[in-house]
Amino acid sequence: MGNYDLKAHTDYEKKIYNSNIRNHNLGSFERVWAIGAVNGKAELFQSICNQIIEKSNLNDRLVFTGNLIGRNNNKINESKKVIDIALKLRAIFMTNSSFDIGDIVFLRGCYEELLDKSRELHMSPNPLELVDWMYSRGLDEILESYNISSSLLHHAARDGASALSRASVEINLAIDNNPGHIKYMTSLKRLAYNDEKNLLFVSAGLARNKSLEEQGDELWWGGGFANLDQPYNDLSRLIRGYDPKRGGLASGKFCVTLDGGEDQVFAALFNKEGMLLETIQS
């Protein structure tokens, strides 16, 4: 999954695949599961996965909308464990005889972005300021789930580029010590859609004045969802998993938000027309 060896389903997709492998085509399907932000809540996420396994059909697609890891109200952050659970759910879907590598996609959320950037701080012109900003958004909790001291990056940022390089190596090793986690990080996509391009899945938002290929970091930092009744191009349904404003579960004429906040996890089942068939929560 981490080598971008995805199958192109249409001639159009072949063109997009060659120019932007970070966007993902789920192909043509009858049903698709979308899992909202998990934010490191392992027990609740496991319950969601169990329900999906029980209710899923053979050819269902599966979209993880990002922010599997993240900040929550639990005493212990279990971001690392959540990734393990997600990889197990993916493995169960892969046992289906009709499984295609493109049937499942992991999207990049803002917390995955934070963890990814924590491995590149030695290239930042203002590392201490950036570390403070990243920690204020929950990076320290994510690192601690990998048994990485929250003081590591603060000390390294004060000590300079060499110390930051060593810290980056330490973070990479901590992640790599967990089978599949590095591949998970490198497999993250920006957005996902179906062959018909009437369904679009994003982590947090999008720029409504840009095409799919032009979308930037608003995909995981948010924006463009102020009006859930506002369409985007010819889409029947726009689905996101995370609301930066913490508005919770919400549905409008065209847009759906599957954010359970820091205390819940939501997932939903849609048909190929974008109709919401079922919502599950834990």
User: Cβ(108)–Cβ(23) under 8 Å?
Assistant: no
**Nearest-angstrom CA–CA distance, 9 and 20:** 15
**95: Cβ contacts below 8 Å, ≥ 6 apart:** none
Residue 198 confidence (pLDDT): 95
The string of DSSP codes covering 75-108 is: SS--HHHHHHHHHHHHHHHHTSTT--GGGEEEB-
Q: What is the pLDDT of residues 26-35, one digit of tens each?
A: 999 999 999 9
pLDDT confidence band for 20 (50 / 70 / 90): low
- Residue 12 above 90 pLDDT? no
pLDDT confidence band for 7 (50 / 70 / 90): very low
* Domains of the chain, start order: 19-109+188-281 (3.60.21.10), 114-176 (no CATH)
**Nearest-angstrom CA–CA distance, 199 and 227:** 17
Q: What is the pLDDT of residues 159-188, one digit of tens each?
A: 999 999 999 999 999 999 999 999 999 999
Q: What is the pLDDT of residues 92-107, one digit of tens each?
A: 999 987 889 999 999 9
**200: Cβ contacts below 8 Å, ≥ 6 apart:** 191, 192, 193, 206, 212, 232, 235, 237, 238, 239
Residue 5 confidence (pLDDT): 35
Element (H, E) at 240: strand 237-240
Q: What is the pLDDT of residues 22-55, one digit of tens each?
A: 999 999 999 999 999 999 999 999 999 999 999 9
Residue 53 confidence (pLDDT): 97
Element (H, E) at 215: none
**Nearest-angstrom CA–CA distance, 214 and 100:** 27
- Residue 152 above 50 pLDDT? yes
Bridge-based pairing of strands 191-193 and 104-106 is unpaired
Closest CA to 43 of 279, 264, 269, 278: 264
Helix, strand, or coil (residue 69): coil
Residue 88: what residue type?
K
Report the mean per-residue pLDDT for the chain: 90
